[in-house]
Amino acid sequence: MIVLVTGARSGFGLLTAVSAARAGHVVYAGLRDVSTADDLMRAAGDLTVHPVQLDVTVDEERKAVVARILAEHGRLDALVNNAGIAMAGPLEEVAEADWRRTFEVNVFGLWELTRLVIPSMREHGDGCIVNVSSMAGRMATPCLGVYAATKHAVSGLSEALRHEVRPFGIRTVLIEPGPYKTDIFGRNKRIADGVGDASSPYAPLVGALEALSGKAIDGAGDPQDVADRIVRVLADPSPAFRHTMGPSTVVRRLAKWGLPDGLYELVVRTTIDKAKP
């Protein structure tokens, strides 16, 4: 199988690229800056992983990667849309440019790349599109509203796409991780200007959420579990649509959908109030 993985510098992307190659697939690993491929190539060793320049927001790079794969192999069997960034901050304080940048990476770049690979998959009557979303695509938390908005968008477009391309033999799958030890809230995290300013009316909320975030990271799961699930999905001729993963996701889902809205909001509010400095 010929597989393209985006956002392969670290985290889910790097682990998925290496794990897919270990499973016998030929992997093209997209990086926003291909000169940062050292960690990827060390992890890959002698496996067949080709690092490629791919900023998902750049049209020329999207087209060049897909054209190269089709020229070298005549097909592209699977696309793993993993590239993403997290934008943190109260919605009022997130600038328009930061909103747009987050949507460009997490939604529009994902979709434009997906559009490019569908024709070849349709021609061959087979293919798999894996979109890495988040539990934030099911429920939004304070100060991660921009990120959650993009992941809700990914969830919606993925569900529609699954129905649209199924008749052509193309499988669409949504991966929804909870907290995992990756760079999405580290190196790939963006913080809105002014967040953390003691004069902000949201300062107490931000402080509480930083404390809760630290606890969540301490209990976060092993990202290799997500990579392994994605590789299994690639080999599955009839995969389930949603794959919700993570140590806390079952409890969060039950709380969100099992409690009345007012009671669920009370739980969230009480949890945040208890964590305020």
Q: What is the DSSP string of 203-259?
A: HHHHHHHHHHHHHHHHTPBPHHHHHHHHHHHHH-SS--SEEEESTTHHHHHHHHHHS
- Whether 109 contacts 116, CB under 8 Å: no
Sign of CA pseudo-dihedral 30, 32, 38, 43 = negative
Q: Give the helix/strand (H/E) hosting 69.
A: helix 59-73
Token pair, residue 254, equals 């039950």
> Which residue, among 165, 50, 65, has the nearest Cα to 118 in the 3D structure?
165
19 exposed, middle or buried (CB, 10 Å; 0-12, 13-18, 19+)? buried
Enzyme catalytic residues: 147
How many residues make up the chain in this entry?
277
Location of structure tokens 């190269």: 68
8 A C-beta contact, residue 92 and residue 143? no
